[in-house]
Structure 1
Amino acid sequence: MKLLLNIKKEKEDLGKQVNNLINILPNTTYVKQFLIVLLFSVSCLNLKAQSLDTNKKYTVGGITVKGNTSFGEQTIINFSGLRKGQEINIPGEEIGSAIKKLWGTKLFNNIEVYVTNIEKNVAYLQIQLADLPQLNELKINGVKKSKQQTIIDENKLKKGTKVTENLITNTKNFLTRKYKKDGFLNTKVHINTIDVKDSIETARVNMVLNIDRGDKVKIKKIVFDGNNAISDKKLRKAMKSTKQINRLRFLKRSKFIDSAYQADLGHVVNKLKENGYRDARIVSDSIIYNEDGTISLDIDVTEGTLYKFGDINFIGNTVYTDKQLHNLLRIKKGDTYNGVLLQERIADNSKPDANDLTNLYQNNGYLFSNIRQVEVSADSSVIDMEIRITEGKPAYFNSVSVVGNDKTNDHVIYRALRTRPGMLYSKERVVRTVRELGQLGFFDAQEIAPNFNNPNPVAGTIDMEYSVKETGSSQIELQGGYGGGGFIGTLGLSFNNFSMKDIFKKDAYKPIPMGDGQRLALRLQASRFYQTYSFQFSEPWLGGKKPVSFSTSISHTKQFLFDFQNRRADKSRSFNITGITFGLAKRLTVPDEYFTFSNALSYQRYDLNNYNTGLFTFGDGYSNNLSFTTGLSRDNTSFDPIFPTAGSKFSVTAKFSFPYSLINGVDYEALSDERKLNENIRDNVASSASDQADARARISEIDQERYKWLEFYKINFKGEWYNQIAKNLVLRPLVEFGFLGAYDNNRGIIPFERFFVGGDGLGQYSLDGRQAVQLRGYPNQSLSSQDGGTIYNKYSLELRYPITLKASAKIYGLAFLEAGGSYNSFRDFNPFNVKRSAGLGVRIFMPAFGLLGIDFGHGFDPIGTTGPKNGWETHFIIGQQF
């Protein structure tokens, strides 16, 4: 911005003087350049003194506009605020204001105001300027196309934007800072503009943005100075994300990230304070660039004096005694001073359910309580503390409401709430309510928010509002594949927020009756050789008053024998399974509210019609399975059921049949002896063919008698834990065990209900009630004997990391270590004789399709007792989470 006041002739003479000086003096000397500017300024002052009277008012006689601009002359004059006939000082505020207004439009460049002529007290002005060029095309080099739009948006580089020096400078500085924060310390940004010359009068430029991020810089060494009591190694360990090069470390890399580094400096100070050095601080830190392209960090600290806790007194507490508070604080006189630990014991903000003083009060109604620690003395390196407590009045919930539920009926939500109007406030109950709403599966667990409205410390009341966001709760399964001897098509519909009472209401179909929290599932699977139909229904609150869940399921499966001669299904030979199950489950209050007690009565009938495959020892006949299942489970995982980050799940179930052998009068010992005798005849090569046939027939008759009504008991245990070991990094250990037994050893263990270990854990055409146990890294059901195991155990360690947890799709990656085994009897059982595996996988949960995933597992052991290790296996996961 500049103001030139001149008469044309004098301006030309001054220009000649300046040009002559430039030609005489070399332009490489800064002093000589300064002399040029100084001479120019003095000449301007002389010119002004000779031509203008600074104390005199001039009348604007006329204004003209000159320069490369697409705006009309009158428009520019209006922008300037100057007008013909206006009295002004030259120089003066009016012209300075005009230039500022023109600059303020952000439309022009090189704005100058000239006095072209003076006649007595009349001055004629000329505004000379040029339009700022518009951005025509932008080309970005050095970054992926997927990242370019973000750069355009962040720096406002859209087509038509006015290109100024300020825009170019800000863009360069922004991108340099951005990439340096991400660890690219050698980032270089160059911006070139090229004028567009065409028939369009508007000034336009093309911009080329070259970004050279270079490689992320690795940290070769982290050195601390000034620390005497705490070693460099311990201080480096306190830095969570900033690590020096270590080839043995895999989870955290040694690349420098400035934002993480700044946070880690705070962790270093906290580490010193945790060890009694209350006055510890970072004196300075510097980055040293090494010749090999790495950097070293030199951090200068001061530890200060080692302090210990002195007397800790509670002030203002009436609800709890000093002894009760000291027991929870767990800090004694003489302990090394630890300000970080003290703050956590008073209020641990990292854990909503932490065992601290604040939650002690807040879980018992004292919402308006306030607790703070004050140092009252720090003599002789001993700090005396006062913990001052303002208890306030107990708070009660005045009103409790839920907003955001467009599909789910209010009563389904309100029965899940653990906070009710009139109840004493409890932070623990608020956290539990958020968990319960997330476990319903009807809302996005990441979006559930408790809002505290209208807190009234005087009246002791609070209004509670839970904000929820509906998510898809119904799923469709439509797939096709090749297996079991032919093409298999599957159609499954699962409605997880169904409303049975509205099934006959035409207006409720949007597209189906929804909102009552019931679950309805229909599934059809068919091929040339295999058909299955199933129906399931569950009501989580039977009667609507208590958390008693009722469920029922009906299924029918038919398998046709494969004819190897014509390679078709022989529909005259079939194996059918028809089953029905009724179940009740009740949420308990003792030992705590996370326990559920469940019971189920089920019946399956197995019909074999000339179905001789070796799966059973009889090809014609039937078996009945009437069994009762009881179980106790505990689930306090939080908050998202798809991606839990804390808590645990335990379940113990026992399934057993009636002991028919006690009342049916059959001598199973004699049958067992007779069966062994016929087995010897069947397997003896010296036996005649007719004798062997008779033996096989008799074995079939005996087994038909043994398995007419299945007699067994079955125990299952499963436990899993979720621990957030770092931000967004969750560790899930798991343990499983199963055992199948018989009441009467002479009757033997049934060929049904057995354990088949290995693979993806999905039951593949499991017609005999078998339990498929997942163990990745091995083929499906390959780690059990042909008839299945009667005992199994499994251990798993899984590390999970979320990629996105949005309602539309939740995606997380995982790494796992697994081990397990299958055994035929307790004589063979060895919990350490297991098959081991490791691998990686990914899970995708979409509301419309359920859980999908893929795992790549590497088996470290042979499938049998000898041979090479199994190696890599790929597993596809559909509708299952483990």
Structure 2
Amino acid sequence: MTNINKVLMLLALSGVTLSMSAQEKIVNPDITYSGTPKTYNLAGLAVTGIDGYEDYVLTGISGLSIGQEVEVPGTAITDAVKRYWKHGLFSDVSISADSIVGDNIYLKIHLTPRPRISTINYNGLKKTEREDMEKKLGLLMGGQITPNMIDRAKILAKKYFEDKGYKNAEVFIRQRDDVAAKNQVILDIDVDKKEKLKVRSITIDGDNQLGDKKIKGTLFTKGAFSKTHEAGKLSSFLKSKKFTPERWAEDKKHLITKYNEYGFRDAIILKDSVWNVDPKHVDIYVKVDEGKKYYIRNINWVGNTVYSTDYLSRLLDMKKGDVYNQTYMNKRLSQDEDAVGNAYWNNGYLFYNLQPTEVNIVGDSIDLEMRIYEGQQAHINRVKINGNDRLYENVVRRELRTKPGDLFSKEALQRSARELASMGHFDPEAINPVPEPNYEDGTVDINYNLKQKSNDQVELSLGWAQTGVVGRVGLKLNNFSMANLFRKNREHRGIMPIGDGETLSLGAQTNGTYYQSYNAQYSTNWLGGKRPIQFNVGVSFSKQT
């Protein structure tokens, strides 16, 4: 080998050595944040401090990805830390450089999980109050705890007791480590309800025409306030004296409604204030501007073709010279059973609308114009029954007074709801018939939203008589189906043949040796299933020695 070749080989080897030294690995490098940022290629991400999660899930929260260029120090890493804090599951977050190899950097993310709740202790509460608090606060054993959750729980607990009349209630939530469980805490929720707040006095300023008796009421008459009454007054006997901000806000609306009933359409509340006079009582001050008392001068009906003006005027039951009572007018237009609106709604005019309009005011007199849009009569298109899976469809439908093709009737809709409630198979409070108008073709769909309830009965009892202990066993099925019992291809909805809403009662009574009695009874309100024919039959057998 020539000297030149030897030199070239030495240079080549020197180049390799220099290249390897440039890729030297720096472990746990010291990052100077006051220095000039340097750009690196992110070659690796590792997470420590968290168990039970895949690494890719935790690294994904950072927003960093392998291969991207990052400045160290720089905003990308700062933003990643902020994302972890924003996630709310960690009590401590830090990102450090694990190593640097040339232009590549390897980062390590250190996370400390927030503790979980192992036990919640409610102190100072009754059982029912504790159950209500558990539902409202949303604190669950096993869930992670955050400072925001504690603050939110305090606010909700405070509001809960204010609604109950304990405006001065104090709520303390203490967090302590659970020595028996790692990274878990015990929450102690201490509640001092104090005393319920009652209303000591209500001062009405500006009630020159109505007076306190009409506003506050007496022992025998109802005033404007339905939930706010003065303690220690005869007029408030057997009435609630509890004060809550919500009750008072509602009663301020009732005050204006009371003025409207007496013709004071312009009455307003100028200001009101509530303050504590002692730990148990508040005083209330209200300043009102009653305005002028108005009377009806003329009532004109516009747009009515189905019913005559005289007929509608009789239904309204208000005439010239009457006090302009807006509350009574609204009742006669739409709320009472024989109101103007029901005359239309019970005759198919679902799209009917009436707008009482004040067209002229002269002094203390008002001219009213009843503007009616009658629309066309709506026929029922479809009737849907939702929430029923125990009764046969035809058993429910035969109780309805709203059939496809019939004219819409509000009265028929309400009667159908009552019939469904009387069956005993559905929760009466949850029965909600909803008409859905189809404006394009002038029809209406009726949706009956039902919630089933169990109404079968089982009886087991023991008693004492002259002959000794007497036992009784009874079973009453209120959704029995006699047809399914004998039908060859019968349909069972469960163990027993049910679905037709019939009643079957079976009973047995005995004291063992001396006395035995057996009975069975069957009844249906729709014998044959086509017409409402009531049928009852029963058999009994008794034996006595």
The aligned counterpart of 1:374 is 357
Whichever residue aligns with residue 103 of structure 1, its letter is: W
1: CA distance, partners of 2:179 / 2:517:
73
Kept in 2: contact 1:60–1:125 (CA 8 A): no
The aligned counterpart of 2:89 is 107
The aligned counterpart of 2:227 is 241
Whichever residue aligns with residue 350 of structure 2, its letter is: L
Q: Does 1:334 align with 2:321?
A: yes
2: CA distance, partners of 1:396 / 1:313:
30
The aligned counterpart of 1:866 is none
The aligned counterpart of 1:228 is 208
> Residues 399 and 138 from structure 1, CA distance in 2 versus in 1: closer, same or farther, beyond 3 angstroms?
closer
The aligned counterpart of 1:294 is 281
Q: Does 1:441 align with 2:421?
A: no
> Residues 65 and 122 from structure 1, CA distance in 2 versus in 1: closer, same or farther, beyond 3 angstroms?
closer
Q: Deviations over 1:820-840 (max 9, x none)?
A: xxxxxxxxxxxxxxxxxxxxx
Kept in 2: contact 1:365–1:394 (CA 8 A): yes
Q: Deviations over 1:95-150 (max 9, x none)?
A: 5533422222223346678999xxxx999999887554444443332223554455
Tell me by how many angstroms 1:253 deviates: 2.8
Whichever residue aligns with residue 424 of structure 1, its letter is: L
Residue among 453, 472, 482 paired with 1:490 = 472
2: CA distance, partners of 1:477 / 1:134:
46
> Residues 384 and 86 from structure 1, CA distance in 2 versus in 1: closer, same or farther, beyond 3 angstroms?
same
Residue among 357, 360, 364 paired with 2:343 = 360
Kept in 2: contact 1:218–1:294 (CA 8 A): yes
1: CA distance, partners of 2:426 / 2:119:
45
Residue among 251, 260, 263 paired with 2:250 = 263
The aligned counterpart of 2:161 is 179
Residue among 441, 449, 461 paired with 1:479 = 461
Q: Deviations over 1:55-92 (max 9, x none)?
A: xx6425999999995489x98876444579835497x7
The aligned counterpart of 1:514 is 498
> Residues 410 and 84 from structure 1, CA distance in 2 versus in 1: closer, same or farther, beyond 3 angstroms?
closer
Kept in 1: contact 2:472–2:508 (CA 8 A): yes
Q: Deviations over 1:185-233 (max 9, x none)?
A: 1111122233457895xx5443322221222112222222221112223
Whichever residue aligns with residue 294 of structure 1, its letter is: H
Q: Does 1:343 align with 2:330?
A: yes
The aligned counterpart of 1:386 is 369
Q: Does 1:276 align with 2:250?
A: no
Tell me by how many angstroms 1:534 deviates: 5.0
Whichever residue aligns with residue 355 of structure 1, its letter is: D
The aligned counterpart of 1:305 is 292
Number of equivalenced pairs: 501
Q: Does 1:167 align with 2:149?
A: yes
Residue among 125, 140, 163 paired with 1:143 = 125
Secondary structure (helix, strand or coil) at the match of 1:278 reads coil
Tell me by how many angstroms 1:404 deviates: 4.1
Whichever residue aligns with residue 314 of structure 1, its letter is: W
> Residues 246 and 194 from structure 1, CA distance in 2 versus in 1: closer, same or farther, beyond 3 angstroms?
same
> Residues 492 and 64 from structure 1, CA distance in 2 versus in 1: closer, same or farther, beyond 3 angstroms?
closer
Q: Does 1:548 align with 2:544?
A: no
The aligned counterpart of 2:408 is 425
> Residues 468 and 176 from structure 1, CA distance in 2 versus in 1: closer, same or farther, beyond 3 angstroms?
closer
Secondary structure (helix, strand or coil) at the match of 1:239 reads coil
Kept in 2: contact 1:183–1:257 (CA 8 A): yes
Residue among 375, 378, 389 paired with 1:395 = 378
> Residues 79 and 337 from structure 1, CA distance in 2 versus in 1: closer, same or farther, beyond 3 angstroms?
same
2: CA distance, partners of 1:81 / 1:393:
61
Q: Deviations over 1:642-690 (max 9, x none)?
A: xxxxxxxxxxxxxxxxxxxxxxxxxxxxxxxxxxxxxxxxxxxxxxxxx
Whichever residue aligns with residue 270 of structure 1, its letter is: T
Unaligned stretches of 5+ residues in structure 2: 1-29, 217-222
> Residues 279 and 469 from structure 1, CA distance in 2 versus in 1: closer, same or farther, beyond 3 angstroms?
same
Q: Deviations over 1:465-512 (max 9, x none)?
A: 334444444434332323577544434443434333344347456544
> Residues 371 and 136 from structure 1, CA distance in 2 versus in 1: closer, same or farther, beyond 3 angstroms?
same
2: CA distance, partners of 1:524 / 1:477:
10
The aligned counterpart of 1:321 is 308
The aligned counterpart of 1:877 is none
Secondary structure (helix, strand or coil) at the match of 1:309 reads strand
Tell me by how many angstroms 1:362 deviates: 0.5
2: CA distance, partners of 1:537 / 1:319:
50
Whichever residue aligns with residue 433 of structure 2, its letter is: P
Whichever residue aligns with residue 534 of structure 2, its letter is: S
Kept in 1: contact 2:395–2:501 (CA 8 A): yes
Tell me by how many angstroms 1:392 deviates: 0.9
The aligned counterpart of 2:8 is none
> Residues 227 and 554 from structure 1, CA distance in 2 versus in 1: closer, same or farther, beyond 3 angstroms?
same
2: CA distance, partners of 1:520 / 1:137:
49
The aligned counterpart of 1:254 is 241
Comparing 128-137 and 443-452, the one that deviates more? 128-137
Q: Deviations over 1:847-867 (max 9, x none)?
A: xxxxxxxxxxxxxxxxxxxxx
Q: Deviations over 1:760-814 (max 9, x none)?
A: xxxxxxxxxxxxxxxxxxxxxxxxxxxxxxxxxxxxxxxxxxxxxxxxxxxxxxx
2: CA distance, partners of 1:468 / 1:477:
28
Tell me by how many angstroms 1:308 deviates: 1.7
> Residues 278 and 62 from structure 1, CA distance in 2 versus in 1: closer, same or farther, beyond 3 angstroms?
same
Tell me by how many angstroms 1:342 deviates: 1.6
Tell me by how many angstroms 1:266 deviates: 1.3
Secondary structure (helix, strand or coil) at the match of 1:211 reads strand
Tell me by how many angstroms 1:257 deviates: 2.9
| 1:210-221 mapped onto 2 (5 Å cutoff) | 210-221=190-201
> Residues 178 and 441 from structure 1, CA distance in 2 versus in 1: closer, same or farther, beyond 3 angstroms?
closer
> Residues 152 and 88 from structure 1, CA distance in 2 versus in 1: closer, same or farther, beyond 3 angstroms?
farther
1: CA distance, partners of 2:507 / 2:106:
91
Q: Does 1:209 align with 2:189?
A: yes
Whichever residue aligns with residue 370 of structure 1, its letter is: N
Tell me by how many angstroms 1:440 deviates: 2.5
> Residues 219 and 335 from structure 1, CA distance in 2 versus in 1: closer, same or farther, beyond 3 angstroms?
same
Q: Could you tell me the percent identity over the aligned residues?
A: 34
Whichever residue aligns with residue 515 of structure 1, its letter is: G
1: CA distance, partners of 2:184 / 2:330:
60
The aligned counterpart of 2:435 is 452
2: CA distance, partners of 1:251 / 1:400:
47
| Structure of greater relative contact order (alpha carbons < 8 Å, 6+ residues apart) | 2
Tell me by how many angstroms 1:463 deviates: 2.4
2: CA distance, partners of 1:451 / 1:380:
44
2: CA distance, partners of 1:314 / 1:467:
37
Whichever residue aligns with residue 410 of structure 2, its letter is: K
Kept in 1: contact 2:157–2:171 (CA 8 A): yes
Kept in 2: contact 1:59–1:122 (CA 8 A): no
Tell me by how many angstroms 1:174 deviates: 1.9
Secondary structure (helix, strand or coil) at the match of 2:307 reads coil
Secondary structure (helix, strand or coil) at the match of 2:162 reads helix
2: CA distance, partners of 1:284 / 1:208:
41
2: CA distance, partners of 1:183 / 1:316:
51
Kept in 1: contact 2:378–2:444 (CA 8 A): yes
